[in-house]
Amino acid sequence: MPSMIAGRSTRMEVLELIRRKGRASAEAIASDLGVTPNAIRQHLTNLERDGFVVSHPERRARGRPSLLFSLTERADSVFPKRYGQLATMVLQEVQELGGPEALDEIFSRVAARHAEVIGREIEGLDFDEKLRRVVAWIGRAGTLAEQTEVQEGVQITIHNCPFRNTALKFPQVCTITPQLISRLLDTGVSQADSIHRRDPYCSFVVQRPRAG
């Protein structure tokens, strides 16, 4: 998982400067930031070790080649992102154009598309193994999902919603998980807790299939 670099640290300033320039030497970065070249070289060594920058030798007409540093794809993760804001704006326009029914249809299609992919991986397994794999798949999105036995069946609790800010504005987002579970396990799913209703987490109760 990519490391995050917080605050206005020199490390972050180095990354921002390289992003603006495309490629830069330690000496050029030191000059722009008003820091000693040795201090910048130490930052660059650590950033290269962590996978955020990569060095390229630049040959000169005279003297030793100079090292130029550029950002890797991984470095993109440390710069600000506003995916949630974009998603909210797009969903707002969809709702304006097609009404709430359009959003219902979109999220139903999203659930169906994921269910089709996951369904191929769990075909032929028994209910408990299917459920375990589905919960693990949901957990890979960073949801901190867990399952517990309850009187009504199996409760799946999601402690972290990756789409929380969007879901607070558009409750249709919350239908993806129960629809996905219901399609994959061919059983009833009811929502017990909801972050949209300001509960601390989301939880769903999955009915166990009746024997026979």
10-78: what CATH class? mainly alpha
Residues 6+ apart with CB under 8 A from 126: none
Tell me how far apart the 2 most distant CA atoms of the chain are, in Å. 83
Residue 74: is it exposed, middle or buried by C-beta count within 10 angstroms (0-12/13-18/19+)? middle
SS3 call for 4? coil
pLDDT at position 1: 36
Length of the chain, in residues: 212
What confidence tens digit (pLDDT) does each residue in 137-168 have?
999 989 999 999 999 999 999 999 888 888 88
What confidence tens digit (pLDDT) does each residue in 72-104 have?
999 998 898 888 899 999 999 999 999 999 999
